[in-house]
Chains A and B, each alone.
Chain A
Amino acid sequence: MSAPLIETRGLGMRFGGVQAVRDVDFTLAERELRCLIGPNGAGKSTFFKMLTGQLRPTSGHVLFRGQDISRAEPHQIARRGIGLKTQAPSVFEGLTVRENLWLSAARVSRGREAKRRVDEMLERIGLGEIASRIVGQLAHGQRQWVELGVVLSTDPDLVLLDEPAAGMTDKEAQRTVDLVREINKTKALIVVEHDMQFIMKIASRVTVFNQGAVLVEDDVKAIMRNPTVRDVYLGKQAVAA
């Protein structure tokens, strides 16, 4: 296997008396697709925040292509090639879909090239018809897509998706599955998702978080059969379903 794209060593985050993430060693190869699952409060979102510089880890390190980025600012990390789609769509609410995508494309290209990227992305995420609509007025599912487009327009090497299919219809979720697969042809992804159906469809290795630590890491089928995972996570979901 080649050198890892991103790697964490003993990564930990403590908020006052609460250890939200503890001692996480995590490795992702170039163009790998990894799913993160775990019950609420398992530390998945905190983990994403540390990877993107929104939180400074209280212990351990994050290495991106061998460089320590644990103390870097969020914009510096973004410029190295990490893009994050947050759980609740984080978009430029008062601007149009086109302007949203332009702000992203303009970070990596100028003038006509930026415009061309925007048109290309509108086509790719299928939002051409609502390009002039104000994003704040769109439905939740559409805003999820806008955010995906915004994240992809900077052309990051590592795409972090925090519950990309949340609040989507089955049809929209299927489109997201297709898009994730397409992205994965050229880029690495880490996907946090609760929906096991979704995870089965993108079929990949899964890392299970529990109480701030990595519980187990394995192939998706093995994870489904794992009794400990069933206990802490899937069992509850199965009962709920």
Chain B
Amino acid sequence: MSGRVANIVGLVVAGVVGLAVLFLGPQWFELDTVLNITVYMIMAVLALSLALIWGYGGILCFGQSAFFGLGAYTYAIAMFNLGDSTLPLALSIAVPAAFAALLGYFIFYGRISDVYLGVITLTVTLILFNSINSTAGPEFHIGVARLGGFNGIPGIPPLNMPFNKDWQVDLNGMFYLSTGSLIVVYFGLRALLASRFGRIVVGIRENERRAELLGYDPRAYKLATFTIGAALAGYAGCLFANWGAFVSPTIFGLAQSAQIIIWVIVGGRGTLIGPILGCIGIQWLTAALGANAPAATGGWAGLLGNAPLILGAILTVFVLVVPKGFVPTLADLGSRFSRPREVSA
């Protein structure tokens, strides 16, 4: 039963830490820190979307940033056209979800293997990047929203209370919304994974053929998981567009796609708390390294300030030395010291 106890302890700790950050954050921190934490929380929601698809669904998707970017662009475009954020918010979730459902239908029902799934999702992301990148001219607009090409869309209006345009979400409001969203998504996913659906999804990850021979259709379960993950990524994209009031095609870029995967690898697949920690830790580290070494610094300071180099080194170390990721390795160590051989996440 130690697995169950660890599970409950984990849930309580996650809840308490989450609520503490939520309620005390703005009192503790300066405004710029609050802004930073807000974007960490948004990215953590994005990390959770891949944690679900890859960590539990076993679907290695290189295109999570495509759904993220689609969510952000959909919100921006709809917002300029409609003014009230109620429908744009819903669309920023629905459009990526519908896109993923369509793409996933052909991938899963076409029985395309895992490797090609990675290639296809990566390609779709790059196609979106290049397409949006080449929409600089004034002729590229949807309604009144100009797509802006490489320059992106600036000045995106913020979210407002549903059906009340005058009650807009301010910077502190964005912090509460993002942190609250992360907590809700985390516990929502825990509930989903504890449900019949979630347990079957994990079974399919473990042995797709066996699940099929028992009478489950893996294609349907994978498609549903993929679509839910895309909806979450789209929602994170909407929050991101709000946070900076700006989106540009780099949101679809290779770097963004790779980052999400690194968060999950470092934090640990098959857990939810791992990718959250991986995401926040790596973003914090990237920011800290960048701040320590201005671009032109030479010598050791320059080397240590070279964020891509350090991140690459971290990724290499994790893949080679800690392939399970941070949290599962910690759990393994923990269970080695406590007697019963059970695994908890």
Pick the residue among A74, A78, A106, A134 that contacts B343 (CB under 8 A): A134
Known: A90-B209, A134-B343. A107 touches B215 (CB 8 A): yes
Query: Does B141 reach chain A (CB closer than 8 Å)?
Result: no
Pick the residue among B202, B213, B216, B341 that contacts A95 (CB under 8 A): B202
Query: Does B339 reach chain A (CB closer than 8 Å)?
Result: no
Residue from A75, A91, A93 whose CB has the most chain B CB atoms within 10 Å: A75
Q: Give Cα distance in the complex from A134 to B196, angstroms.
A: 20
Count of chain A residues with a beta carbon within 8 Å of a chain B beta carbon: 29
In the complex, what residues of A have CB within 8 A of residue B202's CB? 95
In the complex, what residues of B have CB within 8 A of residue A90's CB? 207, 209-210, 213
Instruction: Scan residues 197-223 of chain B and give those whose CB is less than 8 A from a CB of chain A.
Output: 199-200, 202-203, 206-207, 209-218
Query: Does B170 reach chain A (CB closer than 8 Å)?
Result: no
B205 nearest CB across to chain A (Å): 8
B227 nearest CB across to chain A (Å): 19
In the complex, what residues of B have CB within 8 A of residue A132's CB? 3, 342
Known: A79-B215, A107-B216, A133-B341. A150 touches B210 (CB 8 A): yes
In the complex, what residues of B have CB within 8 A of residue A94's CB? 206
**A73 contacts B196, CB within 8 Å?**
no
**B210 contacts A78, CB within 8 Å?**
no
**B214 contacts A99, CB within 8 Å?**
no
Instruction: Scan residues 22-57 of chain A and give those whose CB is less than 8 A from a CB of chain B.
Output: 52, 54
In the complex, what residues of B have CB within 8 A of residue A232's CB? none
Instruction: Scan residues 82-105 of chain A and give those whose CB is less than 8 A from a CB of chain B.
Output: 83-84, 86, 90-95, 99, 102-104
Known: A93-B207, A133-B341, A134-B343. A75 touches B199 (CB 8 A): no
In the complex, what residues of A have CB within 8 A of residue B210's CB? 90-92, 150
Instruction: Scan residues 117-152 of chain A and give those whose CB is less than 8 A from a CB of chain B.
Output: 132-134, 137, 150
**B341 contacts A154, CB within 8 Å?**
no
In the complex, what residues of A have CB within 8 A of residue B217's CB? 73, 75
A147 nearest CB across to chain B (Å): 8
**A75 contacts B212, CB within 8 Å?**
yes
Minimal Cβ-Cβ distance residue in A for B217? A75
Instruction: Scan residues 180-200 of chain B and give those whose CB is less than 8 A from a CB of chain A.
Output: 196, 199-200
Pick the residue among A79, A95, A137, A154 that contacts B203 (CB under 8 A): A95
Known: A92-B206, A93-B206, A95-B206. A103 touches B215 (CB 8 A): no
Minimal Cβ-Cβ distance residue in B for A84? B213
**A103 contacts B341, CB within 8 Å?**
no
Instruction: Scan residues 265-284 of chain B and give those whose CB is less than 8 A from a CB of chain A.
Output: none
Q: Give Cα distance in the complex from A150 to B211, angstroms.
A: 10
Known: A92-B203, A95-B203. A103 touches B213 (CB 8 A): no
Minimal Cβ-Cβ distance residue in A for B209? A90
Known: A99-B199, A102-B199, A132-B342. A107 touches B214 (CB 8 A): yes
B130 nearest CB across to chain A (Å): 37
- Mark A65-87 against chain B: 1 for CB-CB distance below 8 A, else 0: 00000000111001100011010
Instruction: Scan residues 89-146 of chain B and give those whose CB is less than 8 A from a CB of chain A.
Output: none
Q: Give Cα distance in the complex from A79 to B211, angstroms.
A: 12
- Mark B284-323 against chain A: 1 for CB-CB distance below 8 A, else 0: 0000000000000000000000000000000000000000
Minimal Cβ-Cβ distance residue in B for A160? B213
In the complex, what residues of B have CB within 8 A of residue A54's CB? 209, 213
Closest 10 CB pairs of A and B: A78-B215, A92-B206, A79-B215, A103-B203, A74-B212, A75-B217, A90-B210, A107-B215, A75-B212, A94-B206
15 further contact pairs, Cβ within 8 A, besides A92-B203, A93-B206, A107-B215: A54-B213, A74-B213, A75-B212, A75-B213, A78-B212, A78-B213, A83-B214, A84-B213, A90-B210, A92-B207, A95-B203, A95-B206, A99-B199, A99-B203, A137-B341
A-B contact pairs, 16 of them (CB 8 A): A54-B209, A78-B215, A86-B213, A90-B213, A91-B210, A92-B206, A92-B210, A94-B206, A102-B199, A107-B214, A110-B196, A132-B342, A133-B341, A134-B341, A150-B210, A154-B214
